[in-house]
Amino acid sequence: MNAKQKDRLWTGILYVVSAFVVLLLVALIGYILFKGRNALNPSFLFGNPKFGEAGGGIGPMLFNSFYLLVVSLAITVPLGVGAGIYLAEYAKEGRIVGILRLCIETLASLPSIVVGLFGLLIFVNIFHWGFSVLAGAMAIAVINFPSLTRVSENAIKAASDSVKEASLGLGATRWQTIAKVILPSAMPQILTGIILAAGRIFGESAALLYTAGMSAPNLNFHNISLINETSPFSLFRSAESLSVYIWKLNSEGLVPDASDIANKTSAVLVLMVLIFNVTARILGNKIYESYSGKK
């Protein structure tokens, strides 16, 4: 075989491998959505789960997944963006920053089950929060913190080059420049990062097993207190998320239609991931257009 034929052969192989991966994804997502095609009906999406009989819904878990997401973003966004600003604008490369970057790397590479166990130890046991929304949200905040810091740092670095000196030259302080000029222009990029992170958080399970707990009390929307345990917005009630529910369904056979519910819940999760990804992509394209001046 000469070099030309070899080249053609390998080009063909690379095409086949790439096509295989794309087909695998299409098949995977197609299979999940097909199997769970009956998920989009209100009695399943908003109904309460049943025990020992078929036909239960996922209402409380769906609410819990969103609520956990919101609470955890409320914790990480201020901290992550703050740390990103510090790294991009204030930190001077040196020992402390070296340690800080090592810590970010360490946090980012911690297996999520380990973060979950840490949450069990600190939030659930030592702080006596029990299996709760707050403990779960804190655990996923820990997972999300390093990636959000990185996203913010990069976004701020990219946004600051062109406008920083102009603002400083007008007599603004460093902080005024950051808060009034750099941050607003870096915001779309940070937002894209947050949405992508939200997609990951939404499906997180290992960190939530032993922090947010494995039971989902039915929700009563007449009570909107943040601490009263019967309120759906309570930070101190246990809050099983969608993915934890799938896991529990097939480790404990609680209902006869467990596999049907798991199929439909998987479809809901994948659908959410698709929505988060598409939103982030559209936003990303908008930013690209505004930066490159196409529109």
Partner 1 sequence: MENKKFITKLKNEYLGKTYVTFCGLFIIILTLTIILFILSKGTALFIKDGFSLTGFLFSTAWKPDAEPAKYGSLVFLAGSTLVSLGAVLISAPIGVALAIFMNQISPKLGEKVLQPALELFVGIPSVVYGWIGLSLLLPAIKHNFGGIGFSLLAGILVLSVMILPTIASLASDAVKVVPKNYIEASYGLGATRWQTISKVIVPAAKNGILTGIVLGLARAFGEAMAVQMVIGNSIKIVDGLLSPTSTLTSILSMDMGNTVSGTAWNDALWSMALVLLIMSFVFILIIRAIGKRGE
Restricted to residues 118-177, the positions that interact with partner 1 (CB under 8 A) are: 118, 120-122, 125, 142, 145-146, 149, 173-176
Return the residue of 45, 110, 163, 254 that touches partner 1, per CB under 8 A.
Answer: 110
Q: Which has the closest alpha carbon to 218: 64, 69, 67?
A: 64
Return the residue of 205, 211, 231, 238 that touches partner 1, per CB under 8 A.
Answer: 205
Whole-number minimum distance, CB 110 to partner 1, in Å? 6
Whole-number minimum distance, CB 242 to partner 1, in Å? 8
Indicate whether 210 belongs to the interface with partner 1 (CB under 8 A).
yes
Given the rule CB under 8 A, which of 7-15, 39-47, 187-195, 230-238 is the region that contacts partner 1?
A: 7-15
CA distance linking residue 79 with residue 152, whole number of Å: 10
Helix (H), strand (E) at residue 125? none
Indicate whether 15 belongs to the interface with partner 1 (CB under 8 A).
yes
Return the residue of 70, 274, 282, 286 that touches partner 1, per CB under 8 A.
Answer: 274
Helix and strand counts by DSSP (H, E) for the chain = 10, 0
Indicate whether 37 belongs to the interface with partner 1 (CB under 8 A).
no
Residue 45 CB contacts under 8 Å (≥ 6 apart), including other chains: 39, 57, 58, 59, 62, 268
Return the residue of 218, 281, 290, 291 that touches partner 1, per CB under 8 A.
Answer: 281
Give, in order, the Cα–Cα distances in Å from 86 to each of 146, 151, 173, 174, 175. Answer: 13, 13, 15, 12, 11
Cβ distance to partner 1 smaller for residue 135 or 246: 246
Residue 226 CB contacts under 8 Å (≥ 6 apart), including other chains: 233, 234, 235
CA distance linking residue 265 with residue 44, whole number of Å: 9
Cβ distance to partner 1 smaller for residue 224 or 282: 282
